[in-house]
Structure 1
């Protein structure tokens, strides 16, 4: 048996959608609901599953971040290697494994170039048009061949891989669309193909999961435009305040103003009737002063079905045609939760049900990776 651990992410698939598809295909492998993080967004969730920390703790709360004294926006869909190295936290389980002399690798993992080891990274696809779904499918096909090759070679102790066609399809077409159901079928087929490869290669330690679920969109909302139209045009123009959101169910509120003014601005947004919850944050994230990851003052959750976009003028709207989204707190919108599936013939994880969270997964992975090893 190869002492290799594989972590596979199937981006964006809701727990119930996957359970139904998996049962339909007749497998008796146990599937469990996986409680996601808040904000329930791809990059933050993928960092959480490698650190055991929530986005509030590790500091990455969107697929975009704000950095430096100029409050520059950095996209994590296609970061440079230098950006990935700077933004990825250095306390992941992959860093810990590398420090012990273990060999690690990743395939299309969000911010994967910021991890030690051999990483194959292609840009995350955005959810603006159907071409992104086709691109994601082709990328996934390439990724599964790369992963199977790694499994057959067996020279790495830990590999993390990411597949994203379902996420793209659900964004563009909606959760119940034929194209999205097809993407779900492809994801199920990938799991079956990978577990068969595992059996052939003598690999008995595989975890499959989805980082978040999906909900159909009901309306678009532009927080920067809204506050401009309600008395805060100067503050927006001078970049004293900014709402960051990439077409999701929540937004990050950045401000250089006083707490009194911040409270008034948030109350202005509350009066729109679109805000479900406000989570105020404390402190700044650590980092180099000239490229410091800026911490928002608050996270504002939209009411279910609301899609927040951080444009400054209405004509800049990108996501008018988008049908599905995520980002909400799973405690309010349970459709945000993903699934967990372990290919674990030896029953090493002893899963007993209960409320399983993304932040519970890193200790499981460490147990599997370190089984039978002595530290080098």
Structure 2
């Protein structure tokens, strides 16, 4: 089974290929349906026209939901990055130990299937046969090659880098996805894994830095089409195409924005954040942790009613201000009910056109220009993380091959994909938040 942006699986030799095209939107369907390789999937397989993502709708929680069938509050990956107040470059949830409970690749291994993953989030040090996890250096003393090798399958990664490393140019796109593509084709032909997880980020990158409907984003969709074609050819050349299932999916959509909200600036003004002479945070009583289009607000002492009252009053006043950029807020208990991190004091949602950063000095709102994005990659012109209930914010899912019937269904949820893939693989994720999408399966 191949999860292409997605999933590839095969049994006897049935393979499940799952390919994740990061930031693929339901709004992209008018383009996708005109492209021959996507047409091959659509004409012979199943389409879910609109897939509701999770909250917060960011990459690492989303990809963990895809392989667990659970919401972030249950699987434990509640944000892309760890809670490290004041750190300019916080660590990410790179490692498998961030995930609570089992995953598709864990259960596939228990069933004696061969597994592989290429840049699939939160797979560092996971028990995957052929693993090149998504991880990078964010400290000057770290070595990228060594860090990657020690977090995945050393010999496998060394071979991929020896063969295809010349294609890559750091994290720059589209070169990174071209490296992943060649590595995927090689893995299919030489390893023939039963489960292959592949994560492509070209489209997400172009939308962040150029905007949702930019010419750069449209070009990335066409590049994804060519990548899909290469993978279909590789499956045929490996003589496993007829026994393979290919799933193509997005994790979230994106919305254009050009205003960055720095709520920690206001929390500092309320003396809830303090910094030393070096400009670094030395103490905090309340802190806004960004999830891009949404954010968590954490209170250090959950029983500090004074701080909770100050923060609530601040949020109440911002909701009434049309220029604040904040659309709504909910309590930690309400966040838990939506599948997010219930340990937060509050969760806040940005209005369309706005997103959150964690800066606590300078200004409350910054208008972002293309020049800002070019100079400093913390700024973006389109992003995600918003509530899954935002208008025109659904992603998409399609699959074809072994076990898939021709069907078009209007909607499903991201949490439903994991249980569906488990059913196709003949494994069990246990009790999950999602349910099997039976209408797309031949056996149901």
TM range (shorter): 0.7 to 0.9
In the other structure, the counterpart of 1:238 is: 283
Larger Rg: 2
Distance 1:132 1:170, change over 3 A: farther
Q: Distance in 2 between matches of 1:307 and 1:144?
A: 32
* Higher alpha-carbon deviation: 227-236 or 170-179: 227-236
User: Counterparts of 2:135 and 2:116 in 1: how far apart (Å)?
Assistant: 17
Q: Check the 8 A contact 1:41/1:61 in 2, yes or no.
A: no
Structure 2 counterparts to residues 77-96 of structure 1, below 5 A: 79=94, 84-96=95-107
The residue aligned with 1:176 is 213
Contact conserved, 2:272 with 2:284, CA < 8 A, in 1?
no
Q: Does residue 20 in structure 1 map to residue 30 in structure 2?
A: yes
The Cα of 1:171 is off from its aligned counterpart by: 0.3
What's the TM-score once normalised by structure 1's chain length? 0.82
Structure 2 residue matching 1:193: 3-state secondary structure:
helix
Q: Hey, what does 1:76 align to over in structure 2?
A: 92
Structure 2 partner of 1:166: 203
Equivalent residue number for residue 299 of structure 1 = 347
Q: Which residue of 1 aligns with 2:308?
A: 262
Higher mean alpha-carbon deviation, 59-68 vs 166-175, is at 59-68
CA contact (8 A) 1:349 1:364 kept: no
Q: 1:363 to 1:99 in 2, by over 3 A?
A: same
Indicate the residue corresponding to 1:288 in structure 2.
none
Alpha-carbon contact 1:36-1:211 (below 8 Å) kept: yes
The alpha carbon displacement at 1:100 in A equals 2.6
Counterpart-to-counterpart distance in 2, 1:214 and 1:71: 26
State the match for 1:148 in structure 2: 185
Kept after mapping to 2: 8 A contact 1:241/1:254: yes
SS at match of 1:334: coil
Matches of 1:183 and 1:42, distance apart in 2: 18
Q: CA offsets per residue over residues 100-156 of structure 1, 9 Å max, x none?
A: 322212100111214311211243699xxxx99971321211111111122223442
- Cα deviation digits, residues 272-304 of structure 1 (max 9, x gap): 243223233359x9xxxxxxx994333211112
How big is the shift at 1:210? Answer: 0.8
Specify the SS of the correspondent of 1:64.
Answer: coil
Measured on the aligned residues, the alpha-carbon RMSD in Å equals 3.4
Residue among 277, 290, 294 paired with 1:250: 294
Q: Is residue 217 from structure 1 mapped to residue 257 from structure 2 by the alignment?
A: yes
Are 1:276 and 1:303, in contact at CA under 8 Å, matched by a contact in 2? yes
Question: For the structure 1 residues 89 and 104, does the alpha-carbon distance in structure 2 shift closer, same or farther, using more than 3 Å as the test?
Answer: farther
Q: Give per-residue Cα distances to partners, 1:321-363, cap 9 Å, x unaligned.
A: 521111111212332x21111022x453565514211111112
1:362 maps to: 418
Report the counterpart of residue 156 of structure 2 in structure 1.
none
Aligned equivalents of 1:363, 1:233: Cα separation in 2: 43
> Separation in 1 of the partners of 2:349 and 2:89?
20
Shift of 1:184: 1.5
8 Å contact kept, 2:294–2:348: yes
Give, in angstroms, the shift of residue 233 of structure 1.
4.5
More moved, 171-180 vs 90-99: 90-99
Structure 1 residue 62: Cα displacement: 1.8
Mapped to 1, the partners of 2:177 and 2:411 lie a distance apart of 30
1:279 paired with 2:335, answer no
TM-score between both structures, scaled by the size of structure 2: 0.70
Does structure 2 conserve the Cα–Cα contact (< 8 Å) formed by 1:2 and 1:154? no
- 1:311 maps to what in 2? 359
Q: Output the CA distance in 2 between the equivalents of 1:114 and 1:35.
A: 30
Distance 1:277 1:183, change over 3 A: same
Pairs aligned (count): 349
3-state SS in 1 of match to 2:347 = strand
Counterparts of 1:282 and 1:269 in 2: how far apart (Å)?
A: 17
